[in-house]
Amino acid sequence: MTLPVIALLGRKDQPTDAVEEYCRYLGSALQAHDIQLQIHRVPWELHGWRDSLHALQLQAANWRATWVLVQYTALAWSPRGFPFRFHRVLNILKSSGARVGVVYHDVEPYSSARLVDKLRRIAQTRVMRHALKLADLAVFTVPLYKLSWLPFVPTNALYTDPYAPSNRKISTDSYERHVLKMSKQAFERFEARNKVADNPSPTLQRCHFIPVGPNLPIAEVATPRKHPSEVPTVGVFSITGGEQGTRETETIVMAAKSVCKKLGRIRLLVFGRHAEIREASLRRGLQNTEVELSVEGLLAPTEIVARIRSCDILFFVRGGISTRRSSAIAGIACGVPMVAFVGPETSWPFPDAGVVLVSPDHPKELIDAANLLLTNTEFREGMALANCIVYQEHFSWVTIAHRYAAVLSKA
């Protein structure tokens, strides 16, 4: 019997919507488990919140006992990152008898030091915590122990991760107080004082870590490239917008010039979202060098796969590499070795993949890793094979759908 599941999205991102693509690839993979994922939206940016919530209420009347997986990013539910109305969406679903899941694509609040971003951080933290309290199921795209705002201390029992914290007791003492780090005796006193049952944190049982897939049409059984490029080729798949993109562009120019100085002529392919915006800066920075620069903006998915697979290595400098960054997973899925910045969300299985993790604070590490991969054929081929294995075991849509099916059947 086919199990219907609803994926509920907020406003559509432009020019591409990674969350919608995620849902489409996931829905296709779930069909093998007799799960039919249907995509619906709350188009508040087009019709206003009042009419959109009323329409949702009418729709939700038909979703009693049906899983509704609400996709959360701050900007999908607010024009400026203050998603206070998100809980109204969840309340409508709960009151209609739907089984509510929240998929956290944004896993942390904004981190900028500006006053407005501090206010956003407070607002987003409260919204994410309240959503977790309402949800029957919560899916996180990074491991739980990487999150700063959870109302409990996660255990690493669910992870095979050498970088996970040691096992420790957990508590849901309060959504508004700091996390309690208690010794065994202190926890037992807390348990007795609050008459906690067998499970001191029922919230944890509703939380699951499932990474994202590549959002690209990639074969389930990936194979590494067998022949290197005639000219050493370095790829960069998409650049962040705004000031962050400016810093990324400077890093790309610096690394490309340094690698070119050591190896001679190289090819640099920059493609994907925001790439065309940075073309002028890239060309200025690389003039009078032997770097052959090619810049392309948005491409069809099959063209993106072709560009990635034409590269010998990829740079990932869009902040720290993370299991929620589909642009990073794309390189792994294509079997291309990567040099990536480590960050707060970096976790297993990246140490097992063909990814050389380097510090964003030490640019020489980025350069040295690129030189090593481009000059040592045996090492590069080994890293490519590692990426193919890790993709099939952790990041393929078949694997992700299997985990979703298991979670939905047990929840």
* Residue-range domain boundaries for the chain: 3-213+397-410, 233-395
Question: d(Cα 90, Cα 71) in Å, to the nearest integer?
Answer: 11
State the Cα angle at 37 between 36 and 40, rounded to 5°.
140
Can you give the pTM of this predicted structure?
Answer: 0.86
Please give the CATH architecture assigned to the domain spanning 3-213+397-410: 3-Layer(aba) Sandwich (3.40)
Closest CA to 210 of 30, 66, 56: 30
Closest CA to 267 of 312, 202, 227: 312
Q: In terms of pLDDT, which residue wins out, 200 or 64?
A: 64
Mean pLDDT across the stretch 148-160?
Answer: 61
Give the pLDDT confidence score for residue 154 in this predicted structure: 63
Give the pLDDT confidence score for residue 351 in this predicted structure: 85
Do 139 and 212 meet the contact criterion of CB atoms below 8 Å apart? no
Q: Lowest mean pLDDT: which of 181-190, 269-278, 335-344?
A: 181-190
Give the pLDDT confidence score for residue 14 in this predicted structure: 87
Question: d(Cα 95, Cα 228) in Å, to the nearest integer?
Answer: 58
CA dihedral 140, 146, 149, 154 (to 10 degrees): 80
Question: d(Cα 339, Cα 123) in Å, to the nearest integer?
Answer: 35
pLDDT at 45 over 90: yes
Question: d(Cα 308, Cα 330) in Å, to the nearest integer?
Answer: 8
Mean pLDDT across the stretch 37-55?
Answer: 96
Do 308 and 330 meet the contact criterion of CB atoms below 8 Å apart? yes
Instruction: Supply the mean pLDDT for the chain.
Output: 86
Q: Is 265 exposed, middle or buried (0-12, 13-18, 19+ CB in 10 A)?
A: exposed
Give the pLDDT confidence score for residue 175 in this predicted structure: 24
> In the structure, what pLDDT confidence band is assigned to residue 202 with cuts at 50, 70 and 90?
low
Question: d(Cα 392, Cα 148) in Å, to the nearest integer?
Answer: 29
Mean pLDDT across the stretch 79-88?
Answer: 93
> In the structure, what pLDDT confidence band is assigned to residue 194 with cuts at 50, 70 and 90?
very low
> How, if at all, do strands 266-271 and 355-358 pair?
unpaired
Q: Which two tokens stand for residue 373?
A: 């991969």
Q: Lowest mean pLDDT: which of 24-38, 179-193, 286-300, 377-391?
A: 179-193
Residue position matching structure tokens 């508004």? 176
Same fold, 3-213+397-410 and 233-395: yes
Residues 6+ apart with CB under 8 A from 204: 144, 152, 154, 155, 170
pLDDT at 215 over 70: yes
CA 317 to chain centroid: 15
pLDDT at 352 over 90: no
pLDDT at 230 over 90: no
Q: In terms of pLDDT, which residue wins out, 70 or 229?
A: 70
Superfamily designation of domain 233-395: Glycogen Phosphorylase B; (3.40.50.2000)
Cis amide prior to 349 (ω within 30 degrees):
yes
Give the pLDDT confidence score for residue 110 in this predicted structure: 85
Do 333 and 353 meet the contact criterion of CB atoms below 8 Å apart? no
Total residue count of the chain as it appears in this document? 411
Q: Which two tokens stand for residue 11?
A: 């406003």
Most confidently predicted of 35-49, 186-200, 348-362: 35-49
Q: Lowest mean pLDDT: which of 32-46, 48-62, 91-105, 157-171?
A: 157-171
Q: How far is CA 45 from CA 21, 54, 74, 80, 81, in A?
A: 20, 14, 14, 12, 13
Give the pLDDT confidence score for residue 1 in this predicted structure: 81
Q: Lowest mean pLDDT: which of 105-119, 199-213, 397-411?
A: 199-213
Question: d(Cα 398, Cα 202) in Å, to the nearest integer?
Answer: 29
Give the pLDDT confidence score for residue 203 in this predicted structure: 63
Stated as kind and residue range, the H or E segment containing 308 is: helix 301-309
- The CA radius of gyration of the chain, in Å to the nearest whole number, is 22
Give the pLDDT confidence score for residue 183 in this predicted structure: 37
Give the pLDDT confidence score for residue 91 in this predicted structure: 96
> In the structure, what pLDDT confidence band is assigned to residue 349 with cuts at 50, 70 and 90?
confident
Give the pLDDT confidence score for residue 222 in this predicted structure: 62
Question: d(Cα 290, Cα 267) in Å, to the nearest integer?
Answer: 8
Q: In terms of pLDDT, which residue wins out, 199 or 202?
A: 202
> In the structure, what pLDDT confidence band is assigned to residue 128 with cuts at 50, 70 and 90?
very high
End-to-end CA distance of the chain: 18
Percent share of the chain, pLDDT over 90? 70
> In the structure, what pLDDT confidence band is assigned to residue 241 with cuts at 50, 70 and 90?
confident
Give the pLDDT confidence score for residue 95 in this predicted structure: 96
Is the torsion defined by CA of 189, 191, 195, 198 positive or negative? negative
pLDDT at 131 over 60: yes
